[in-house]
A and B are shown apart, each in its own frame.
Chain A
């Protein structure tokens, strides 16, 4: 699967609205690696080199050298094979159908946030990219504002049904997903389902253990699991060809209004716990709002599902493509947690799996 990513004019300061494209460092057809400089940008405050967020091939140069580009507008299209299981939803200003015609003659459509914006990979469903802005100037009752702030809803995307076009509390709590949100959810589901389908026929084995831990927070569990994989490189191979992965990438699943998002934490065991906890917290919040930096959407070598907020005890985790392990964390009795591990039997055997789980429990 190849995906087209627009690399956009980044927002480099709070006040920045446009940037000047100084020069490209690549040309169409160039193969680039993650971190290679793609183009250079100048603002009134700063000059900056914009790096490639993933490995790929430069498909198109959109911006003209010397031109002023609005933040969030695409500068270059990158064709990438990077394994992406779910995508960033921030979106760029897109050609969307106008908002539901409940509100007349209001300006429609503008990206809500201009920070890293990545278009959606082309999968089965056509995917639109920006939340529909109903109105830039809106009125909302205080409790609607509180509810929106708490749940990360942009009030500009809410259709007001109150007197004088005021957004009521009920408008926020009963809001229906927009057509475009539904499309994205469907696309996202399709993407994940396709990934699981790809691993369907791979021989797998699953193991479950119940364990009492002092720190049952996700960052701690993720870090421990990464440590286990680092010490057992045979479990950190690529499911594609058995080659050793250069890093441990732990994907987690976050529910968002667009479906599941899967941010990837690279080498979480090498970060100190405070840094990792902060990273998990900010990334989870961003993911819930449908925004994950592209850099955190690839490089997964394993996946951790945390089912505890649903009071699940365990499920048999399924492997994602090219990953040979998957882990679920569930609730267990007496404050313990249930840890389930699935392995790809082509690259490891039952003893490897059982041993890894045992090591994880000991590490915890």
Chain B
């Protein structure tokens, strides 16, 4: 298979990254619920159980606190665990291990120890799984110093970023949108162990009228909007931060200085959302003086995700919402 047309899904790309890392380093292993024989609730680990061994792809009991606690201990003793939590909503069960142990041990022991742990977990709405299985929780983790937070939007990035996350000596929370698992990306996934550094924003496309910053699945939706509005003569720069902690603002500043307009989109609720950090940093920067329009944000409603499909859809930004907001910003502000 040639590199040019490897159009993998995100699940396949993530599996490939884990396989590469396990081939590279014997200390890499995976643990989680139903990830072994079953291949993962969303099929991400797939055949890794059979390719490697039950010792390296470990099915665990239903105890998130126990899983993460075991992984933290393993990481402290030289292993590189990859934890899969079946739904990001369940990280609440493991939060003490994540926020109080994994994130802080390195600092509280004066840098003597590292916690090279990756916690992969699916998030997001759109599957009819209701309020306890549909949240976007990136801001929980971004608000804990000591954690890195990755939100990939496509298979190629997911593979490269996961390889870097596994290399990283710090705990990394890797948040995958469920709806992206089965979709091939726009770009082929490079073969081999190609890494994408954490903390580097990606300019997905360039335009001169509007800077659109989006994460996760909102990157795909925003891309569609940008392509559509290009036909109307509205040209959009789309930026995917990819890691929201650390956050690479430079391409955003540069673009805002060029376009003078900023639209920020996330699926999670607006209150206390990650996008507010982007807006705050632009407001604090010298790029602020380049703004020719008020900054606009689109985010989920401040409600638990509803079960009814129509309401579930209405609770988070859709393509049409992004399209209206983008057009309005460019048309109304000159």
Contacts and interface: CB of A to CB of B under 8 A. Distances in A.
Interface stretch (B26-34, B65-73, B129-137, B290-298): B290-298
Contact of A170 (B288, B289, B294, B334): B334
Contacts of A163: 332-333
Contacts, number: 33
Interface string A280-311: 00000000000000000000000000000000
Given A141-B294, A143-B260, A169-B260, A162 B289 contact: no
A294 B289 CA distance: 36
Contacts of B291: 141-143
Interface in B283-334: 288-294, 332-334
Given A141-B294, A143-B260, A169 B334 contact: yes
A146 to B, nearest CB: 5
Main secondary structure of the interface of B (DSSP, over half): loop
Contact of A169 (B288, B292, B294, B332): B292
Nearest to A149: B289
Contacts of A143: 260, 289-292
Nearest to A146: B289
A144 interface: yes
Nearest to B293: A141
Contacts of B288: 142
A145 to B, nearest CB: 8
A168 interface: yes
B325 to A, nearest CB: 13
B289 A168 contact: no
A168 B290 contact: no
A146 B292 CA distance: 10
A170 B334 CA distance: 5
A142 B290 CA distance: 7
A144 B260 CA distance: 11
Nearest to A163: B332
A232 to B, nearest CB: 51
Interface centre among A142, A144, A166, A168 (most CB of B within 10 A): A142
Contacts of B332: 162-163
A163 B177 CA distance: 36
Contacts of A169: 260, 292, 333-334
14 contacts: A141-B291, A141-B292, A141-B293, A141-B294, A143-B290, A143-B291, A144-B292, A146-B290, A162-B333, A163-B332, A168-B333, A169-B260, A169-B292, A170-B292
